[in-house]
C-alpha cells in the first residue's frame, strides 16, 4: 500500500544530483511552511552534508527496518518544519538481516520500510526519500512503500539507460508482485548540464521521452553544472539559494578599494563566490516548483498517468 505523500529520488548511477535534488525539495518545501520529513536511505549519508545536520550512522533507520524500534525523526536545527532520519553504514547491516529473512521465505520483510514509515507518515505534508544508487533490495523496499518516484539523470548514455532499471523495479513491485499498485514514476530531470551542451540535452530528453512513451515525462527545468558552488554548499551544509544570498551579501559588503593590503592578501585565500549562483538557484527553484506541481496534480487525481517503458526499450 503506497504512502501517498512520499517522493523517492532514485537512480542506479551515482553523481546524478539525486541527493542534492532530495535536499532542495525537502528544504524548499520546509522553508515554505510544509511539514517535511527527509529520509536518507543511503549508507554514505551524504544527505547530512547537503542539509547540514549531524548523522547517526544510520542506526535509527536500521533499527526501524528490522523492527527493533519505531522510526523517530529528528527536528532539523535550521527549519522548524523539517525533520530527518539519517542514513549510514548501519543501513547495510539491516539489509543483511532482511536478506536473511527473505531467504527463509519471510516475504513480509519486503514491507519493512512501509511498516516503519506508516505510523508517522500522517504527521507530514511531504516525505522525501534519498535512495542509494545500486542497492536493489533497498530500492524494492522503498518502492513497496512509496507513491511517487523522481529519476535524476545526466545526459550520457549510461545515465539514460539507467532509467530502464528504475522502471523494471517499479513494474516488478507494482505489477509483478502486486506489492504497491499505486506506485508511479513521476518524471525525470536532467543535470548537471555543461555550458554549450544544449544539443546533447535535447537529444537525451527526446530519447528518454521516447523510451517512456510520454513526451512530457522529462521535466522542463534542468540543472546547470557549477562544481565550485556544489562543493561549497556540501562543505557548509547549505542549499543553493542560501549560497546565492551569501554571495550577494559578500559582493555588496566587499569594496576592494576600502580593504587594507593585509585584508586583500587574506581575501585571496577565501572562497571566490561564483557568478553562476543566481542562475543555479533559479534552476533549482524552477525544478522544485515543477516537481511539486506534478506531485499535487497527481494527488488530486487529475491527469492519471501510468507510464512504462516502450517495447523498444
- Tell me the mean pLDDT per 10 residues along the chain, length 313: 94 88 98 97 94 96 98 96 97 96 96 98 98 90 98 89 90 94 96 93 95 96 96 96 92 60 58 91 98 95 49 35
> Does residue 244 fall inside a structural domain?
no
| Strands across the sheet containing 82-85 | 74-75, 82-85, 36-40, 126-130, 6-9, 148-153, 184-193, 218-224
- The pLDDT assigned to 302 comes to 62
Spatial neighbors of 211 by CB under 8 A, at least 6 apart, are: 160, 163, 164, 309, 310, 312, 313
* H helix runs in the chain, sequence order: 18-31, 47-51, 59-65, 90-103, 112-121, 136-145, 157-171, 198-212, 227-236, 240-253, 261-267, 277-299
CA 44, CA 42: separation in Å to the nearest integer?
5
Instruction: Examine residue 202 and state whether it is found in any structural domain, yes or no.
Output: yes
Task: Give the domain range for residue 108.
Answer: 6-226+287-299
Number of domains the chain contains? 1
Residue 11 lies in a domain: yes
Residue 269 lies inside a defined structural domain of this protein: no
Q: Which pLDDT score is estimated for 265?
A: 57
- 268 occurs within a structural domain: no
> What pLDDT is stored for residue 260 in this prediction?
63
Q: Is residue 305 part of a domain?
A: no
Q: Which CATH number characterizes residue 96's domain?
A: 3.40.50.300
Residue 160 lies in a domain: yes
The grid coordinates of residue 217 equal: 515525462
CA gap 180, 170 in Å, rounded: 9
Q: Is residue 258 part of a domain?
A: no
Amino acid at each position: 500500500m503506497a504512502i501517498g505523500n512520499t517522493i523517492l529520488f532514485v537512480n542506479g548511477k551515482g553523481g546524478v544530483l539525486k541527493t542534492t535534488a532530495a535536499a532542495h525539495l525537502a528544504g524548499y518545501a520546509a522553508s515554505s511552511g510544509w511539514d517535511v520529513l527527509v529520509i536518507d536511505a543511503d549508507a554514505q549519508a551524504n544527505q547530512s552534508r547537503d542539509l547540514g545536520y549531524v548523522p547517526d550512522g544510520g542506526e535509527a533507520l536500521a533499527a526501524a527496518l528490522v523492527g527493533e524500534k519505531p522510526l523517530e525523526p529528528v527536528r532539523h536545527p535550521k527549519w522548524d518544519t523539517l525533520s530527518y532520519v539519517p542514513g549510514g553504514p548501519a543501513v547495510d547491516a539491516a539489509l543483511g538481516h532482511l536478506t536473511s529473512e527473505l531467504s527463509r521465505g519471510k516475504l513480509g520483510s519486503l514491507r519493512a520500510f512501509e511498516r516503519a514509515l506508516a505510523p508517522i507518515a500522517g504527521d507530514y505534508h511531504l516525505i522525501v526519500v534519498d535512495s542509494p544508487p545500486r542497492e536493489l533490495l533497498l530500492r524494492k523496499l522503498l518502492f513497496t512503500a512509496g507513491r511517487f518516484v523522481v529519476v535524476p539523470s545526466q545526459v550520457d548514455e549510461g545515465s539514460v539507460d539507467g532509467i530502464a532499471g528504475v522502471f523494471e523495479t517499479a513494474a516488478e513491485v507494482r505489477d509483478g508482485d502486486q506489492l504497491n499498485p499505486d506506485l508511479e514514476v513521476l518524471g525525470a530531470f536532467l543535470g548537471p548540464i555543461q555550458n554549450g551542451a544544449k544539443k546533447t540535452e535535447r537529444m537525451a530528453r527526446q530519447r528518454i521521452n521516447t523510451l517512456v512513451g510520454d513526451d512530457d515525462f522529462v521535466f522542463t527545468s534542468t540543472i546547470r553544472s557549477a562544481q565550485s558552488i556544489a562543493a561549497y554548499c556540501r562543505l557548509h551544509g547549505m542549499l543553493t539559494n542560501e549560497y546565492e544570498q551569501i554571495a550577494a551579501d559578500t559582493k555588496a559588503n566587499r569594496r576592494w578599494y576600502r580593504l587594507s593590503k593585509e585584508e586583500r592578501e587574506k581575501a585571496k585565500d577565501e572562497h571566490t563566490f561564483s557568478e553562476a549562483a543566481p542562475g543555479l538557484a533559479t534552476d533549482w527553484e524552477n525544478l522544485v516548483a515543477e516537481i511539486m506541481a506534478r506531485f499535487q496534480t497527481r494527488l488530486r487525481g487529475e491527469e492519471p498517468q501510468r507510464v512504462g517503458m516502450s517495447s523498444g526499450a
